[in-house]
């Protein structure tokens, strides 16, 4: 479970230890690893196999800083609400506070990640079909594949979306065309801390048998 070696990390070990890794070293990541992470993303499904995902690998320090300024502004907008929320299911207040400290750390150091991968879609199908619930559905599976690939390579990553609070400004910084949208920014880098198991609500508490509310066992 503790191994970072790609050759040793089995799929379920990766799945069970892919957590939000928000404290990253600024050390650069080899380009072939970034390519491998994106290649894993491209193995994901997309509606009609149109593969309209696009990825912007942001390494430029000035662009990263401009994104961080907006990410921090968005944090300041929402942090009071986050603090007032109860802890996530099954988590203690202490665990929630540790998570918030990590969230704040990432916010303050967003631009220090060696790479920010901005995950985009061209002509999101959900708009064409008028199905709001499908928004981003053809890029988020790719993002999850990328998180798992990062884990297998010993890289830390987090799926973040808070930049969307300042979407228009972000689009301008990244010079997105009108038919493209961003859905996530994944800061990627070598983690400062160690990987560990994720903790989630047990299967039987979130799963029903045959109909809503019926116990699953």
Contact call for residue 20 and ligand FMN (CB under 6 A)? yes
Chain position carrying tokens 């193995």: 43
Strand residues in the chain grouped as ranges (E): 53-58, 115-122, 156-157, 180-189
Give the residue with the Cβ less far from ligand FMN, 7 or 85: 85
What is the CA angle 38-185-202, rounded to 5? 85
Give the residue with the Cβ less far from ligand FMN, 131 or 209: 131
Contact call for residue 36 and ligand FMN (CB under 6 A)? no
Rounded distance between C-alpha atoms, residue 157 and residue 135, angstroms: 22
- Give Dmax (Cα) for the chain: 54
Could you give phi then psi for residue 103, rounded to 5 degrees? -60, -45
Binding mask 160-179 for ligand FMN (x = CB under 6 A): xxx-----------------
Of the listed pieces 44-52, 53-61, 127-135, 153-161, which binds ligand FMN according to CB under 6 A? 153-161
Contact call for residue 119 and ligand FMN (CB under 6 A)? no
Shortest reach from residue 19's CB to ligand FMN, in Å? 3
Residues that bind ligand FMN in the complex, under the rule CB under 6 A: 19-20, 22, 99, 103, 106, 158-162, 198
């Amino acid at each position: 479970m503790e191994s970072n070696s790609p050759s040793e990390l089995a799929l379920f070990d990766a799945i069970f230890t892919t957590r939000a890794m928000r404290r990253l070293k600024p050390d650069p990541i080899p380009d072939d690893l970034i390519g491998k992470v994106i290649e894993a993303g491209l193995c994901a499904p997309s509606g009609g196999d149109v593969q309209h995902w696009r990825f912007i690998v942001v390494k430029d320090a000035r662009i990263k800083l401009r994104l961080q300024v907006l990410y921090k502004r968005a944090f300041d907008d929402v942090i009071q609400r986050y603090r007032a929320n109860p802890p996530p299911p099954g988590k203690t207040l202490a665990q929630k506070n540790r998570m918030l400290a990590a969230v704040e750390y990432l916010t303050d150091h967003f631009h220090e990640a060696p790479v920010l991968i901005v995950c985009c879609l061209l002509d999101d199908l959900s708009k064409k079909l008028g199905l709001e619930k499908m928004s981003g559905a053809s890029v988020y599976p790719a993002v999850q594949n990328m998180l798992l690939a990062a884990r297998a390579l010993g890289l830390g990553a987090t799926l973040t979306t808070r930049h969307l609070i300042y979407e228009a400004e972000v689009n301008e910084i990244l010079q997105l065309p009108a038919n493209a949208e961003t859905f996530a920014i994944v800061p990627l880098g070598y983690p400062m801390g160690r990987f560990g198991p994720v903790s989630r609500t047990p299967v039987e508490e979130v799963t029903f048998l045959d109909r809503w509310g019926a116990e699953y066992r």
